[in-house]
Structure 1
Amino acid sequence: MTNYRDLFRTRGVFRIVVSQLIARFPAGMLSLAALIHVQRQHDSYAAAGLVLAALAIGQAIAGPLTSRIFGRFGMFRVIGVTLTIAALATVSLAIPGLSVPLYAVIAFIAGASTPPIQPAARSLYPSLVAPKQRTALFAFDASVQEIIWIFGPVIVTFLSLSIHSALGILAAAALLVTGGIWFLTAPQVVHAVSGEPTGRLGSVLRSHALLMVLAVGFVISAATAMMEAAVVANFGHGGVQAGVILAALCASSLAAGFLVGQRRLTRWSLAKRLGLVGVGLALASMQTGFWWVLAAGVIAGAGIAPVIAAITHMTSTAVASSDVAEAFGWSTTAQLVGIAGGSSAAGVLIDAYGGQVALAAAAAVTFAGVGIASFVGRGQPPSRRAQEGPTRPIPRVTPVGA
C-alpha cells in the first residue's frame, strides 16, 4: 500500500487536493442550505424542493459540457468564468423575500455555472504522481472528500438554523471563492493542456462501466440527501441534534473510506457497500429516537465513502485518457443531480407524510441500487477468482513402490 505521506511529498499534489476540496464544499452545503432558506421564507418544503430541482437541472447541464470544453478554451479560462458566475448566483440565492420562481431561476444559474473543479483535479492527478501511486491518490481523494459531508451539513445546520437561514448559503459562496481562486492559480492549472475528446458529447456513455458509475453515483447521493433532509425535519427545530447525527454519519464514512478504499474491487463490491448503506437507512426509518437514528446513521455512513472510492476508480479506467475529464463531468453531474433530486423528493415526502417516510424512501432507493449492481454484470470489475486466475489442481502424488 502506497504511503499517503509520500503522495504529498510530490510537487503540486497538496495544493491541488486541498484547494479543490475547499472549492467543492458547496456540494455538501448548498442543497441543504437552500432547502432550509427557502422553506423558512415560504414555510413549505415543497417550494424548497422546486428550487432544488432547478439547481439540479442546471448542474446536470453544466457537468459534462464544461469539462468537455477544456480542450478548446483551456482549463484556466473555463474554471475562471464559471467560478465568477457561480459565486454571484450563490450570493444572490441568499437574498430573503424573493418569490419561489425567482429563487428557482437563480438556483438554475448557480447550478449551470458550477465550476468543473472536481473533473479538472481528477484529470490532473495521473500527471502529478507515478503510475503506482495513482490508485492511492484516487482512494485518498474519494475518502477525504467526506470532510465535505462531515463539516458541510454541520456548518449549514448551525448557521442556518441557529443564526439566520441565509448564512449557510453565504458560507458556501465564501468557500467556493476561496478554494476556487487557490485552485485556479496553481501552476498545474494555469499551464494545463487538455487533449481533444475522441468523439461527440456523450459518446463516453457507451462505456458500460461509466453507466454503472452514473447509476450508483446518483443512488448514493440521492439517498444521502434524503436522509439529510429527513434528519433536519425531525431534529432541526432547536438544538444541535441534526448536526450531530449528520456529522456522525460522515465521520463513519470517512473512517470506512480510509479503511477499505484501496481494497481491490470485485464483482460484488458495489452491491455489498450499497447494501450496508441501505440497511442503515432502513433502521433509521423504524424509530425516531435520537440515539437510534445516530447509530443507524453510523451504519449507513460506513458504506458511503467506499462506494465513492469504487466508482471514482472505475471512472478513471472506463474511457480513453483524453475523455477522462468528460467522464468525471458526467459522474459529478449524476452525483449532484442525485443530491438535489433527493433533497427535492424528500421535501415533498416530508410535507405530505413526515421525515420517517422520507428515510424509508431513501432506503428503497438504495436497495434499488443494490439490485442494479447485483444483476448488471457488464461494466463491473471481475470477480476475485477471475482476477486471481484459474486454480490449479493439486497434483496427485503416487508413493514410490505403490
Structure 2
Amino acid sequence: MKRYRELLATRFVKSLIVSAFPARMAYGMIGLCIFFKVERETNSVAIAGLAIGLNGITGALTAGIRGSMLDRWGQRWPLRIFVPSYALLILTLNIMHSQNLILIVAFVLGMTAPPINISVRPLWIDIVPRSSLRTAYALDTVSMNTATVIGPILATTLSLSSRPEFALIVAAFSMALGGGALAIHPVSNAWIPEKKDKGQGNLIRNKAIQLLMLEGIFIGIGWGAFNVAIPSFATLEEVPWRTGWVLASLGIATVVGGIFGGLVSNKVSSLISWRRIYLIWAALTIPLAFTYPGWSMAILGAAIGLVSGAGQVFYFEVLEAVRPKGSQASSLGWIWTVEGTFMAFGSALGGWICQHYSPRYALGLTTSMTLVGLLVIFIGWQRFQPANKIPTVEEDLNAQLDSTSDQFRH
C-alpha cells in the first residue's frame, strides 16, 4: 500500500478524487431513481424500463460527442454547461407526472449527461509521474466502482422510503456538488487539450481504436444480457432478493480488484498484464450458465469482479498508449458510445432470451461474447504494441520532473 500512500501525498490527488465522487455517485443512482419514479407514476414496469432505456441509449450515443468537445475546447465551459443543465433536468423530472413528458425528459437527460469520468482520466497525466500512473488509474477505477456500488443502494433506499421524491433530489444535488467541484478544480481549469499532429488521421481510422471498439461491441452485448439475466433468473426462481447478493458481491470485488491492479509492478507492461487478466476473466465466465441465483452465482460473481476490477486499470493504460494525439477524452468517449449502445441492445436481447427461453441462455451469451472479445484482442495483438513498452529509469525521472513542473504551474 506504499504506492497509494505516496500517490495520495501528491498535490491535487485527494481533491480530484473527492471532487468527482459525488457526481459519480449520482450516475450510480440515476438509473434506479428513474425506474422507481416512472413505475410509481405509471404503475408500469414496462414503461419504467423504457424510460431507463431511453436515458441510457441517448447517454451512450452522445458520449463520444461530449468527449470530442473536451478535446476541442477544454473542460471548463463544457462542464459548467452540462452539470447545471443535468441537475435541473433531474429536478424537473422529479415534479412531473405525465408519462409522455417523463419519457421526453429522460431522453433529453441522457444527452446532457456531464462527461465526468472522461474528464478526470486525462488529468492524472498532468499531476502524477509516469511511474505512478498505474496506481492513479487504479485509484480512479476504485472511485468509479465504489460509486457504482453505493449509488444503487442509496437510490433504492430513498425511492422505497416514505419520501421517495428525495431520491432524485439527492441525485441532482450530488451531481451539482461533484460536477461543480470538478468544474472549478484548478487542474481541470488548467487542462489544455493536446494538439493533433499535422496530417493525423481521424480517431475512428486508428486501427487500435477500431479493435477496441470492435471488442466493445461484443462486451456490450454480452454484459448487457448479463444485467438482465441475473434479476430475471432470480425472479423466475422466486428469490428476487438474491439479485442484491450477486450484484453486491460483483461490485465490491470489482473495487478490491482495482486496488490490487494498482499494486502490479511497473516492470510488467500494461499490454501483457491486460492480456493475462483478460484470459482469466474470460475463463471465469465459462461456468456462469451453470450457476444458480445464490451462493454459487455470488461466489463466481465475486471472482469475476475481482479480475475485472484489475483489468480496468490495465485497459486505461493500454488505451492511453495507443490512442492518437488530441484524443485524451474523445478516445474513451467514442469507445463508450459503441459499447454502451450495444449494451442497450444486449439488454433487450437478453430480456427476450430470458422470456422465451431461459436466463441460462442469456448467461451463455455473456460467456460467448466475452470469449469473442478475447479473440479480438489476441488477433489484433500487434496493433497494441505501443502499450508493451516498459519505461526506462531515465524516462521515469523525466516524467517525474515534468509532473513536478506541472504542479508548480497549477
Give the TM interval when normalised to the shorter protein.
0.7 to 0.9
Tell me which moved more, 39-48 or 116-125. Answer: 39-48
**In the alignment, is residue 15 of structure 1 matched against residue 26 of structure 2?**
no
Q: How far 1:352 sits from its partner (Å)?
A: 4.2
| Letter aligned with residue 254 of structure 1 | V
Structure 2 counterpart of 1:209 = 208
Structure 2 residue aligned with 1:316: 320
Deviations 1:159-179 (A, max 9, x none): 446768766555433322221
Q: CA deviation at 1:373?
A: 2.1
In structure 2, relative to structure 1, the CA distance for the partners of 1:130 and 1:20 (3 Å cut) is same
Distance in 1 between residues matched to 2:279 and 2:167, nearest whole Å = 32
Name whichever of 234-243 and 183-192 sits farther off. 234-243
Match of 2:117 in 1: 118
Task: Tell me, yes or no, if the aligned pair for 1:281 and 1:362 is still in contact at 8 Å.
Answer: yes
What's the counterpart of residue 362 of structure 1?
366
2:179 and 2:390 map into 1 onto residues whose CA distance is 43
Q: How does 1:124-143 map to 2 (within 5 A)?
A: 124-143=123-142
State the secondary structure of the residue aligned to 1:190.
helix
Deviation at 1:80, TM superposition (A): 1.0
- Alpha-carbon distance in structure 2 between the residues aligned to 1:201 and 1:90: 40
Counterparts of residues 100-249 of structure 1 (less than 5 Å)? 102-160=101-159, 169-197=168-196, 203-217=202-216, 219-220=218-219, 223-235=222-234, 240-249=241-250
Measured in 1, the distance between the counterparts of 2:323 and 2:387 equals 21
Q: SS of the counterpart of 1:288?
A: coil
Cα distance between partner residues in 1 of 2:199 and 2:350: 35
Cα drift, residue 301 of structure 1: 1.1
Do the aligned partners of residues 71 and 308 (structure 1) sit closer, same or farther apart at CA in structure 2, a change above 3 Å counting? closer
Q: Quick one: structure 1 residues 194 and 23, their matched pair in 2 at CA, closer, same or farther if it must change by over 3 Å?
A: same
Task: Report the counterpart of residue 391 of structure 1 in structure 2.
Answer: none
Greater CA deviation, 24-33 or 369-378? 24-33
Q: 2:332 aligns with which of 313, 328, 331?
A: 328
After superposition, the CA RMSD in angstroms is 3.8
Change in 2 beyond 3 A, CA 1:55/1:354: farther
Q: TM-score when scaled to structure 2?
A: 0.78
With over 3 angstroms needed to count, the CA separation of the structure-2 counterparts of 1:89 and 1:225, relative to structure 1, is farther
**Which of 348, 371, 374 pairs up with 2:375?**
371
**Aligned partners of 2:124 and 2:136 also within 8 Å:** yes
Question: TM-score, normalised on structure 1?
Answer: 0.79
Distance 2:4 2:351 in 1: 40
CA distance in 1, matches of 2:283, 2:106: 33
Q: Which amino acid aligns with 1:292?
A: S
- Residue type of the alignment partner of 1:243: G
Is the alpha carbon distance of 1:102 and 1:162 closer, same or farther for their aligned partners in structure 2, counting shifts above 3 Å?
Answer: same
2-structure distance, mates of 1:119, 1:168: 25
Q: Which has the higher mean CA deviation after the structures are superposed, 8-17 or 205-214?
A: 205-214
Name 2:292's counterpart in structure 1.
288
The alignment partner of 2:84 has SS state of helix
8 Å contact from structure 2 (residues 57, 340) kept in 1: no
What code does the residue aligned with 1:186 have?
A: H
The CA deviation string for residues 318-362 of structure 1, in whole angstroms up to 9 with x for no partner, is: 234432122132234345445544444444444444644433333
Q: Are the equivalent residues in 2 in contact too, given 1:226–1:343 (CA < 8 A)?
A: yes
- The reply to whether residue 298 of structure 1 matches residue 299 of structure 2 is no
1:158·1:240 contact (CA, 8 Å) conserved in 2? no
Structure 1: 5+ residue runs without aligned partners? 389-402
**What are the superposed Cα offsets for residues 97-122 of structure 1, whole Å, 9 maximum, x if unpaired?**
543x5444323211111111222212
Equivalent residue letter for 2:81: V
**Quick one: distance in 2 between partners of 1:371 and 1:139?**
25
- Identify unmatched segments of 5+ residues in structure 2: 393-410
% identical aligned pairs: 21
Q: Rate the CA distance shift 1:289–1:111 in 2: closer, same or farther, 3 A.
A: closer
Matched, 1:58 2:58: yes
